[in-house]
Amino acid sequence: MKITKDIIESHGLKLDEYSKIKQLLDREPNYLELGIFSAMWNEHCSYKSSKVHLKKLPVKNKNVIQGPGENAGVIDIGDDDAIVFKIESHNHPSFIEPYQGAATGVGGILRDVFTMGARPIALLNSIHFGSPDNKKTKNLLNGVVSGIGGYGNCIGIPTVAGETKFNSTYNENILVNAMAVGLANKKKIFYSKAKGLNKAVVYVGSKTGRDGIHGASMASAEFDENSEDKKPTVQVGDPFTEKLLMEACLELMQKESIISIQDMGAAGLTSSSVEMAHKGNLGIELNLDKIPCREENMSPYEMMLSESQERMLIILEDGKEDEARAIFKKWDLDFVIIGKTTETKNLSLRFKTKIVATIPIDALSSKAPLYDRKWSKKKLSKKKTNIKDLKKINFDEAFFKILSSPNHSNKRWVTEQYDQMVMGDTIERSGANAAVIKIHNKDKAIAVTVDSSANYCKSHPLSGGKQIVSESWRNLISVGAKPIAITNCLNFGNPENPEVMGEFAENILGVKEACEFLDYPVVSGNVSFYNGTNNNNIFPTPVIGGVGLIKNLKKIQNHRFKKIDSKILIIGKTFGHLGQSVLINEMYNLNDGMPPDVNLLNERNNGEMVLKLINEGIINSVHDISTGGIILALAEMSLSSQIGIKILKPKKLSNMFEYFFGEDQSRYIVEVDKNNYSKIEKLLEDNNIYFENIGVTQKDHFELDKDLKTSVKELYEMNNKWYNNFNGPIS
């Protein structure tokens, strides 16, 4: 087949990239080779537009065992225990086919974790949809939530936390980010680096079909009016097979058999074989006649680019083939030796006795294009948002509207479709500051959370990057965990647009600054570009997945008020920042002004003090203050406990709206028993931590001086109103 301009462009390659391919091969590629280059050189696999910026991120601290570059990150949590975790996107597939797109996103991230030798113990997700008024939103939401629940529930891994958000920026490009967390023995971590010559390369798992071909390339291009015709590029998942594959792999990992292991994710057999060979500075020869196929007459092109799910590639030690085969046979899975490692440093493919492709491994990996794309610095808003400049509104009207809005209403309809308690180790789940999972048969736990803030990042990408890392930090602190490390999923628009690339570059700098200051490194992650349709790019939406350690189960804290007549303290200073706030967005449909400033010194000092108070056992409950300000955080504490509050106006208060709806950072709400108040007061004063005593808990009512009075029951009804109307009553 003659390679034409149209064929090149249909593979997502630029003409200058095609010229580079010819130069690297010293000849024209054939159609199969072109497909392989297309798969390995797209954004999803090569990170060609992001790598120059990602290198700036901190990736190490004393707890990090494995940082970026493997299937998942690994951190040490003591006692030879390690936590393996990663977050990835499945945005484009989920928009085209919501159920399977979301389901296979869960399946893929689970494989990334158990490929490292970890048993998955928790799933999380961050899902973003368009406006609820958009005609597509309801079906997309229903499909995605069903897909996440359908896969996770079937495989038996609890989905313990997440976020569901709505914004018109996602009308034509939803975001579906899935995170998985696993537990491993730190002395038995498995890697993808190939070692040794003439070692058996083994295909295990499901058979190969025609689903998912060009999936990775599709995820590296913007949507257009023909996007829904791309359903064949969406993979089809089978959670029951995934469960078998997981158990078989974990059983084999107990033997001394595996040299390296890699799941077949994006770009399927192509990426798995190339990545293994590249890391080991070796070649790989594959006999495609031996690939287990579930469809007839599959071509080498289809076999190499299929993204059929539930498949792995393993390199075995000599003489271990029979032992490994017996394990996979027991689990009723395919086990086929399809090739070997070589010294050629080439990917060599044989089909029907002929060599059908020969490509240097480095041409597909280290010599792939790397772009330092032009980018423009964000023009910052000079407008200062002040409630006095806005149309007069009632305080209670604003509060009730926010509490019953799509983004802040009760999301039980979503979370109750997920099994949150399977495995029996979930202590805190969706709705808390962070989820908490007990380490089985140990007196310790991990805390996990996912967070994003697109409005902040759109307004000021650098500040937004710092803010979202800090919010993740506060969420972990609030349950009594010491934050250790993060994974990130960076969802942005078209990187060829200098404004979008500027958003990305500045956001990375913000994430870098916060991670370095808080000793909270990035150990894994994913970049998702080209999120947009017809040049309408989404708001920059970095999602941060945080993991922290709780060394003593007795020190776990939560955001539920515990008793009547406790004192309520605000730790951290309130300035009343309303720029980019929930208040002006919900009441005026505005995204005005700058996001709140992030003082990382205050963030660290206030967080460490709250953690100290938790560990000393002298506070009853704690909640971080983020979007929606003090008032929304108080409402969440009341709703979760069915205990009311009585708040008095602070003496220095200049404006009720600014104080209670302001989104200043580095703040916590703490419930304190009156008997412990003097001790806490002294600790805070001795450590120069700013705090305010703003009121007490009470039995039934939610009161803010004379400006707001309602019952906790009415609060609950208001908080459930929108979701009940949108998707039917919650049973």
Residues classed as catalytic: 44, 90
Helix (H) or strand (E) holding 273: helix 268-280
Q: Which residues contact 247 (CB under 8 A, 6 or more apart)?
A: 331
The two beta strands, 701-704 and 668-672, are unpaired
Burial class of residue 45 (count of CB atoms within 10 Å of its CB; 0-12, 13-18, 19+): buried
Separation of alpha carbons 486 and 523, rounded Å = 6
Query: For residues 453 and 596, what is the distance between their CA atoms, to the nearest angstrom?
Result: 12
Q: What is the rounded CA–CA span in Å between residue 178 and residue 40?
A: 22
Which secondary-structure segment (H or E) carries 351?
strand 346-351
Running DSSP on this structure, what letter comes out for residue 230? G
Most distant CA pair in the chain: distance in Å? 85
Task: Name 221's Cβ contacts closer than 8 Å, sequence gap at least 6.
Answer: 12, 530
Report CA 461 to chain centroid distance, whole Å: 18
Say how far apart CA 678 and CA 280 lie, in whole Å. Answer: 61
Phi first, then psi: give them for residue 619, nearest 5 degrees: -125, 155
Are the C-beta atoms of residues 459 and 595 closer than 8 Å to each other?
yes
Closest CA to 365 of 722, 694, 31, 40: 40
Question: Taking each helix axis from N to C terminus, what angle separates 239-252 and 321-330, rounded to the nearest 10 degrees?
Answer: 150
Sheet architecture: strand order including 258-263: 258-263, 311-316, 200-205, 334-342, 283-287, 346-351, 354-360
What is the CA angle 109-551-512, rounded to 5?
Answer: 55
> What are the residues facing 236 on neighbouring strands?
none
For 187, the 3-state DSSP assignment is coil
| Residues forming beta bridges with residue 446, ordered by sequence position | 437, 549
- Determine the Cα–Cα distance for residues 483 and 471; give it in Å rounded to an integer: 11
- CA–CA separation, 428 and 436 (whole Å): 5
Q: Give the position of tokens 């459930």.
A: 720
Burial label, 586 (beta-carbon count in 10 A; 0-12, 13-18, 19+)? buried
